[in-house]
Amino acid sequence: MPPGFTIRHATEADRWEIAELIYISINHWYQIHGRGQLFQGGPHVADVFFEAYESLDPGCCIVAECNNSKRIMGSCFYHPRPLHVSLGIMAVHPNHWGSGTGKKLLDWIIDFSQQEDKPLRLTQSAINLDSFSLYNKAGFVPRQAYQDMFIEVPENGLDVTSDGDACVRDGRLEDVQQLAALEKRVSGITREQDYEFMIANELGYWGFSVYECSGSGELLGFLGSCAHPGCTMIGPGVSDNESVAESLLFHRLNAFAGKMAVFLIPVDAENLVQRLYSIGARNCELHFAQVLGDCQPYDGINMPTFMPETG
C-alpha cells in the first residue's frame, strides 16, 4: 500500500528540495512527451520560484510530505490578492504521479479560496490533458486561450518600430494606483503588490514598462518581464488594445538582446499575432486562463506569465 502524506506549509528548509522537485517534474513531463527539457542548467535554476514567491508572498507555498520518508512528494504556490486567489506553479514528483497528491494540493487551495470568498485563477497548459482534467473536474472553466510564442532577439535588438514607441517608459511606484484601475477594467482583478514588486526589482531580474498616453498622461497598458535563467519570460501585462500591447512587447523584447524570450498572446488578438509572425516569432505551446468562480470577460489584451503567476 502506498505511503500516506501530510499537507503542510513549506519552510526555508524545503527550498532546495522544492527547486529540485519542480526541475525534475516539469522536465520529465516534457521529455516523455517528446518536447525536450523546459529547464536547463541544473535544479538550482528552478529556485527562482521559491526565491521570488517567498519575497512576494511569504509563507504561501504548501507541500505534500511523505509520512514514511519525510520527502516532498509535491508542492504548490498560491497568491491571495484583493479580488482573487491565484494558483501558481504546482509540481508532483514523477515517482508519485497518480497517487492523488496533486488533487489534495488543489483541494487545499480551493478550500482556502472559498474561505476567502474569492475566485481561484490559474494559467494552465492546454496540451497537458492530465493537468487539464484535474482542474476541469474541480470546476475550473477555460476563459481565454493563449498561444505561447518565442523569438530569438538579435544581439543588437529587434529592428522594428510601432506607432506608440514614444509612449513607452519604465514603470514607477507612483503608477501603481493607475495600474490597478487599468487591470480592474481589463481583467476584473487588481494586484498592487505585484506591480510594486516588479518595479522595485530588488531581486535584480525584473523589468517593467508602462504605456503613457501623450497629452493626457493616462496609462493604457503595462508589461513586466523576468530575465532569470530559470524563467526568461515576458509578462504579466494588460493593455487597452492590440496596438498598445505591441508597443510594450517590442520594448520589453529589446531588453532580451542576444537571448530567447517567451510570451503568451491571446489567440483572438489576430493583428498582434500576425505582426509577431512577421518579425520571426514562433509558437511553442498553448495555455488556458482558467477560473473557478466568477470571471469578468476580458475587455482588452491580457498577457499572463508563469512568474509571477498571479492573474
pLDDT digits (tens, 9 = 90+) for 257-284: 999 999 999 999 999 999 999 999 999 9
Q: With CA atoms as reference, report the closest residue to 224 among 242, 248, 244.
A: 248
List the chain pLDDT tens, one digit each, 311 residues: 466 999 999 999 999 999 999 999 999 988 988 777 778 889 999 999 999 999 999 999 999 999 999 999 999 999 999 999 999 999 999 999 989 999 999 999 999 999 999 999 999 999 999 999 999 999 999 999 999 999 999 999 999 999 899 999 999 999 999 999 999 999 999 999 999 999 999 999 999 999 999 888 999 999 999 999 889 999 999 999 999 999 999 999 999 999 999 999 999 999 999 999 999 999 999 999 999 999 999 999 999 998 888 88
Q: CA torsion sign, 281 to 88 to 71 to 46? A: positive
Q: With CA atoms as reference, report the closest residue to 66 among 33, 104, 32, 28.
A: 104
DSSP 127: S
Q: With CA atoms as reference, report the closest residue to 254 among 123, 132, 157, 142.
A: 157
Q: How many helices (H) and strands (E) does the chain have?
A: 8, 13
> Distance between CA 122 and CA 115 in Å, rounded?
18
> Distance between CA 27 and CA 20 in Å, rounded?
11
Q: What is the pTM of this model?
A: 0.94
